[in-house]
A = this chain, B = another copy of it.
Amino acid sequence: MDKLEDLKTKLQAFADERDWDQFHSPKNLSMALSVEASELVECFQWLTEAQSQNLSPEQLSAVKDEMADVQIYLLRLATKLNVDMLDAVNQKIKKNALKYPADKVKGSSKKYNQYGSNDESDS
């Protein structure tokens, strides 16, 4: 069995033991996920980009905890909406490859709608 599926089962048991399912509507879980994402941003907000690449062990440990929280709520949401995350990511990578053709976007951070991308051909 897939390891992410194992985690989903483990997290469902964790919620069940605490009777937390009542709070875990997809709407609420999306809010909780975005709050954890911001706690991750908070770790970096006053650091330079260079400093963000050279975290102290304490900083890295705090960052790791916030990353885990994001992953946990993402898996909870995947459970509630019956989403296979690995499949969703693989499909999205294919879409992104059409949106951002390597030869056109090389070295640029523009958004896909600022290029003549191949996105419309995705029919």
A interface list, Cβ under 8 A from B: 2-4, 7, 10-11, 14, 17-20, 22-23, 25-28, 30-35, 37-50, 52-53, 55, 60, 63-65, 67-72, 74-75, 77-78, 80-81, 83, 85-86, 88-93, 95-97, 100, 102, 105-107, 109
Indicate how many identical chains form the complex: 4
In the complex, are the beta carbons of A55 and B70 less than 8 A apart? no
In the complex, are the beta carbons of A44 and B26 less than 8 A apart? yes
A55 contact set on B, CB distance < 8 A: 26, 81
In the complex, are the beta carbons of A89 and B71 less than 8 A apart? yes
Complex: A92 Cα to B36 Cα, angstroms: 13
A72 contact set on B, CB distance < 8 A: 89, 92-93
In the complex, are the beta carbons of B65 and A95 less than 8 A apart? yes
* Shortest distance from the beta carbon of A106 to any chain B beta carbon, whole Å: 5
In the complex, are the beta carbons of B25 and A30 less than 8 A apart? no
Complex: A75 Cα to B25 Cα, angstroms: 25
In the complex, are the beta carbons of A48 and B49 less than 8 A apart? yes
